[in-house]
Amino acid sequence: MLNVEFKESDEPNVWHEDVKEFKVTDKTNGRTLGLFYLDLYPREGKFKHFAVFSFMDRRVKDGKTYLPICSMVSNYDKPTADTPSLLNHSDVETFFHEFGHLMHTMSNQANYARFGLSGVLRDFVETPSMMFEKWAWKEEVLSKLSGHYKDPKKKLPSNLLKRMIDAKLLDVGILQLRQVAYSLIDLVYHTEGAEDTSAVFRKHFSETTGYMMPEEVKMDAGFGHFVNPGYTAGYYGYLWSKSYAEDVFTKFEKNGFMDSKTGTEYRQKILAPGGSLDPDDMVISFLGREMNTDAFMKSLGLDND
């Protein structure tokens, strides 16, 4: 769909035997875009969550182009001699999410490293990853990926996928209010400050969601985004990026989920600039109009009419 090709390295330069190395090539011109690593399975001392880490962002210096290098880290169950690494649908969706970040890094064509993934505005940096999740809900995609581990020819049944889609909006209001609460708490922490962070968390969480949190629960102590330098006062970016992602995806809904022409244009106009252009300008270039929240509201099951 993005008109790129992945080639696994025969002699990878890796930090562990489980890690795989891939070269990414632009199929439209044959040029190498970059190098990435997949570090999929847990082990002692490894990062415990899911993320994409850049080793080097693309840059041009003294007439020489340095290509991006990054890794996608996850913690899926490691396959055994008898059982493959079995992913549930949520795992697949997470893989697509992180791979969206990875392709954002690989597709970068900016001349300065500061416009790499870390230089994308917080309002927009989650857009490619959240949009990539949409493909994990399309039957034509899942039919290529899914299969019973004892008989790969048995794909995810259409009626089961339909039931999954029908249940997708279950508790969506609660989930959105939770995101609003987190965003608000993050802003309060980094603007007004808080002597008792737990008390501030409980106050705003209960006022926003309607759920009371017991005093002995210290949820703020385990929420890393609040103290992560990349997210401070920027957690709201998840909701705003979701709005961008739903709107950008409307072009794929119109032209086809696997349409390579649309995918190539998306890569060139949304991913390639990195942080060098304003997100609104990139969206206008891709969609031919200004961004709106209609698709986002629809994704919540709300009728804009």
- Residue from 150, 151, 106 nearest 132 by CA: 106
Q: What local confidence, expressed as pLDDT, does residue 223 receive? A: 83
Region at 188 (left for phi over 0; alpha for psi -120 to 50; beta for the rest): alpha
Sheet of 4-8: strand order equals: 4-8, 20-26, 32-39, 69-73, 51-56
* 83: its two tokens: 């059982």
Q: Is residue 110 part of a domain?
A: yes
Q: Is residue 29 part of a domain?
A: yes
Whole-model pTM over 0.75: yes
Q: Which residue type occupies 114?
A: R
What b-and-e string marks burial along 227-250, b requiring 16 or more CB atoms within 10 Å of the CB?
Answer: eeeebeebbbbbbbbbbbbbbbbe
Q: What local confidence, expressed as pLDDT, does residue 304 receive? A: 60
Q: How many separate domains does the chain show?
A: 1
Q: What local confidence, expressed as pLDDT, does residue 288 receive? A: 98
Q: What local confidence, expressed as pLDDT, does residue 222 receive? A: 84
Q: Is residue 70 part of a domain?
A: yes
What range defines the domain where residue 110 resides? 4-121
List the catalytic residues. 98
List per-residue pLDDT tens for the chain, 305 residues long: 999 999 999 999 999 999 999 999 999 999 999 999 999 999 999 999 999 999 999 999 999 999 999 999 999 999 998 888 999 999 999 999 999 999 999 999 999 999 999 899 999 999 999 999 999 999 888 888 888 888 989 988 889 988 988 898 999 999 999 999 999 999 999 999 889 999 999 999 999 999 998 888 888 888 888 888 777 889 999 999 999 999 999 999 999 999 999 999 999 999 999 999 999 999 999 999 999 999 999 999 987 65
Domain of 84, CATH number, reads 3.40.390.10
Q: What local confidence, expressed as pLDDT, does residue 226 receive? A: 82
Q: Is residue 219 part of a domain?
A: no
* 80: its two tokens: 């055994």
Q: Is residue 215 part of a domain?
A: no
Q: Is residue 208 part of a domain?
A: no
